[in-house]
Amino acid sequence: MEEITGYLKKRRAISMIVVTTLAFIAVGVSWKFHISRALYFNGAYNTIFIYALIVYKIIELVLLSYFLFYRHQRYLKNNEYTYEFLVTLKKHTKLLFFLIPQGNTIFGIIAYKLSGEVLYFLIFSCIALVTLTIINPNSLKVTQIKYT
């Protein structure tokens, strides 16, 4: 279990570095180039669509983190882990630590293009960083039960 939590902490750190690096790149692009806002439907619904994306992303991250991490944490409270369980846990958390930066980056780019402001990309980056901070692989080690 120690090597799994070490692996997951490393994946989480890499994901945080990726999100932070992409945020700095977005600020640099915003500073160097001017991105004009999209004028679909004359731009009347852009902010509504951006706020809907933010709400959707928050709901999605809560569901993803439950189904790919916290469900396994709850399982460990009542059961002893097996090799198959550890393989499934590693696969699901690896997927989670990939989906968080990837999804927030895509949604941030969409929001950046719709608004023309880098602030919305940074909001999605902050949402990703908060989610990655909340998901703590050390909690798996603490909840582990040993049967005697």
Q: Which domain holds residue 77?
A: 2-142
Residue-level pLDDT at 141: 60
147: in domain: no
pLDDT at residue 34, as a whole number: 82
What is the C-alpha separation between 13 and 7, in angstroms, rounded? 10
Structural domain contains residue 101: yes
Residue 91 counted as domain residue: yes
148 assigned to some structural domain: no
Range 121-134 average pLDDT = 95
Count up the domains in the chain and report the number.
1
Per-residue pLDDT at 100:
94
77 within a domain of the structure (yes/no): yes
pLDDT 10s digits, 50-99: 999 999 999 999 999 999 888 888 888 888 778 888 888 889 999 999 99
Residues 118 and 113: their CA atoms lie apart, in Å, by: 9
Q: What is the pLDDT of residue 67?
A: 92
B/e letters for 34-62, b = 16+ CB within 10 Å, e = fewer, are ebeeeeeeeeeebeeebeebeeebeeebe
Question: Would 108 be classed as within a structural domain?
Answer: yes
pTM score: 0.86
